[in-house]
Amino acid sequence: MVASIWYPIPFLVLTVALLIRARERTPPDERQLWLWKPLSTALVISVGVLSLTRPADAYDPTYTTLMLIGLGLSFVGDVLLIPQNNTRTFIGGLVAFLLAHLAYVAAFVYLHASRGFEYQMITEIVNVGALTLAAAVVYRYLSPDLGSLRVPVVAYLLVISIMVHRALAIAFVHTGPVIQPILIVLGALLFYVSDLILAVDRFRFHGQLPRGKRWNLSAYYLGQLFLALSASFFA
């Protein structure tokens, strides 16, 4: 039933709102975080799983599987990032999300190859240049406060930039219905923005960025939702 992919979304809006409220408390309500954060991510995953209820010509099993692997690794990352001011779990979460981005990269590369899209050299170069410049600016801004996390953060910045690059590559060569490429690009960009907000809040504002948690979580879950929905519009 096509409408089934939308069923978890109202519950997701509620759980993310409750998650934001718990995260913005001083100090954060860790018991509530342990409830609402995994549940919110599980609801996003359920949207991806429900793509399997779509008609056979509306989804691709390989693409859906890769997206679900990415979402599953994101679930692990979300759980590891719940403890506050814990460097070990923060690095673990960083690694989990890095692997999640690699799964998304694999999904986008598969989509590119399976649809027979041609690579556009000029577009590729422009995208690489823009993302490299953005990564350099972000690194320069964060650099003074990275300390022992410099190498993991640089590795993560590289991988998420590649993920966004492959998402943009699909948008520029996609032909036919535009719903899926729009979902992919918006999902990738919102994920990038959410991580940028998280990094700025952690490393430059030391957790005191005004409304930082609200914007970080909102962008993150909306981005992940768009990526999960992209599995249902393989047309």
Residues 45-94: pLDDT tens digits?
999 999 988 877 778 999 999 999 999 999 999 999 999 888 899 999 99
Instruction: Determine if residue 147 is left, alpha or beta; phi over 0 gives left, psi from -120 to 50 gives alpha, anything else beta.
Output: left
- For residue range 92-143, what is the model confidence (pLDDT) as tens digits? 999 999 999 999 999 999 998 887 777 778 888 999 999 999 999 999 999 9
Contact 55, 42 (CB under 8 A): no
Contact 227, 188 (CB under 8 A): yes
The predicted pLDDT at position 227 comes to 98
Distances (CA, A) of 163 to 107, 143, 185, 189: 10, 22, 10, 9
- Check pLDDT > 50 for residue 8: yes
Contact 5, 43 (CB under 8 A): no
Q: How many CB atoms lie under 10 A from the CB of residue 1?
A: 8
Task: Give the mean model confidence (pLDDT) for residues 23-37.
Answer: 94
- For residue range 186-196, what is the model confidence (pLDDT) as tens digits? 999 999 999 99
Task: Give the mean model confidence (pLDDT) for residues 32-38.
Answer: 98
The predicted pLDDT at position 17 comes to 98
Contact 48, 32 (CB under 8 A): no
Burial of 74 per CB tally in 10 Å (0-12, 13-18, 19+)? buried
Contact 19, 40 (CB under 8 A): yes
Task: Give the mean model confidence (pLDDT) for residues 137-163.
Answer: 96
